[in-house]
Every structure is written in structure tokens, then in C-alpha cells.
Amino acid sequence: MEKNKKITIHHLFWYFLIFSILGLIIETLYCYITAGTWESRKGLIWGPFCPVYGVCGAFLIAVLDKLNFKSNVQLFLGGFVIGSIAEYILSYMLEAIYGIRFWNYAYLSYHLNGRISLLFSFYWGVLSIVLIKFAKPLIDKIVDKMKPKIRNTIEISLFVFLVIDCIFTVWGIQTYQNRVLYHTEYKTYSNNIFLKARENIENNYFTNERISHTFPNLRTKNEKGEEVWIKTLIEE
């Protein structure tokens, strides 16, 4: 494989953005094909994004491009290993941030702590070939053709939006988790505009229905140490 020119922060941003969206589409279709149901696979509360795929995709491209593998076999093996490591680390990081797990491969054969599995590691290997051979050159061409001023404006706007999206996602999931698991509710503070605004958002926007629909696969452990879906614990 011919050595490509240096990857910039602009390229990495667009890798992340595009693969976050494509990952969501692929995951949603995969869910429908395997389970026969349309289910939200979003990773953020707003927008069509699944950041796990964005982070792993950008990380895979950056590392594989640096290693400059020559054959599809090398790309596959590199993606198999690197993608698995990235997914395993991300699983821990997301659990540390949110306090709950987003996915668990324990239902599959040959998995490691439910965080990665042989099947999905195989997918990372195949995806790596597609990323380096086809996706990266196309994305690079589009990004390089964008006028710097317009590109920078779009990137800054999207970055700010994604940061706010992440903050509200963490806030919403923690509110949902505290309400369902610990029955935590905030009282009305009529004389404090900030606390009242917080209460209104948590009670009227971060509802159990909205969060459980947006993130249906959020998991926690019950008193027996068994992993269960939080949505099954919602009291009627």
C-alpha cells in the first residue's frame, strides 16, 4: 500500500463524524436483520451519531496509515487486533463516564468479558480494509477540496454542538439512572431560577420514556450481580 500524505486534525474530525453516522446506520440495519426490529442505536441524545464507531474508525485509520501495511491480509490482522483493543478500552471508558454498559457480547461465543467478541473483531478486520482502501481516499479528497474558511467554520460549529450533545447525554442518562435505580427526584425550587430550570429539564425532557427509547440497551447489575436492562426496572 502506497504511503499516503500526512493525516491532519481536519481529516481525523471528518473520519470521526462520518463513521459515527455510518456506524449508526450499519448498527441499526444489523439489528433489524438479526433481531427483526427497528431499535435506536444512537450514542448521543441528539443527532444521528454513534461515537464508538467514529472513535474506532478514526483511530484505525490513523494507526493503520502510520503502520503502512502492504497487503489486505496485514490490514485485516491489524484491524482485527487494533479495533478489538480500541473497542475494549472504549467499553471501560463509557462505563466509567456513565456508570452503565452500552453493549455486552456475552450472548455470543468467544467473547472477552462481554466487551469484545471474535465475531465483531472479525468485522473490525474487514472494516479496516474498506476504510484504508476505499473510505479514506474518498474522504481525504473531499476534505482537501473544501475551502479552509468554510471547512473551519463547519468543523467548529459541529464540534461545539457535539460537546454540548455529550454533556446533555451524560446528564440525561445519569438522571434516568438515578430515577430508575435510586428513585432520586429533585424538588421544585421556586426561588432559584437555575435549580428550577434543572428540575424542568430533568422531569420534562429527560423522561424515562425518552431516554429508554433513545438508549434501549443501557445495562446495570441487580442485587444478585446479574446484568439487566435498566428499561425493565422502570416502575409502572
36: left (phi over 0), alpha (psi -120 to 50) or beta: left
pLDDT at 4: 56
Among all chains, which residue has been given the C-alpha cell 431560577? Answer: 193
Residue 205 CB burial class (10 angstroms; 0-12, 13-18, ≥19): middle
Instruction: Please tell me what DSSP assigns to residue 184.
Output: -
C-alpha cell at 44: 448521543
Q: Is 219 helix (H, G, I), strand (E, B) or coil?
A: strand
Q: Strand (E) positions, the chain?
A: 111-112, 116-117, 219-221, 227-229
Q: Hey, which residues does 220 pair with through a beta bridge?
A: 228
Residues 6+ apart with CB under 8 A from 102: 43, 52, 91, 94, 95, 215, 217, 218, 219
pTM: 0.85
pLDDT at 236: 45
In order along its 236 residues, the chain shows pLDDT tens digits of 445 578 999 999 999 999 999 999 998 998 899 888 899 999 999 999 999 899 989 999 999 999 988 899 999 999 999 999 999 998 988 888 777 777 889 888 899 989 999 999 999 999 999 999 999 999 999 999 999 999 999 999 999 999 999 999 999 999 998 888 877 776 666 678 888 888 889 999 999 999 999 999 888 876 666 778 888 888 54
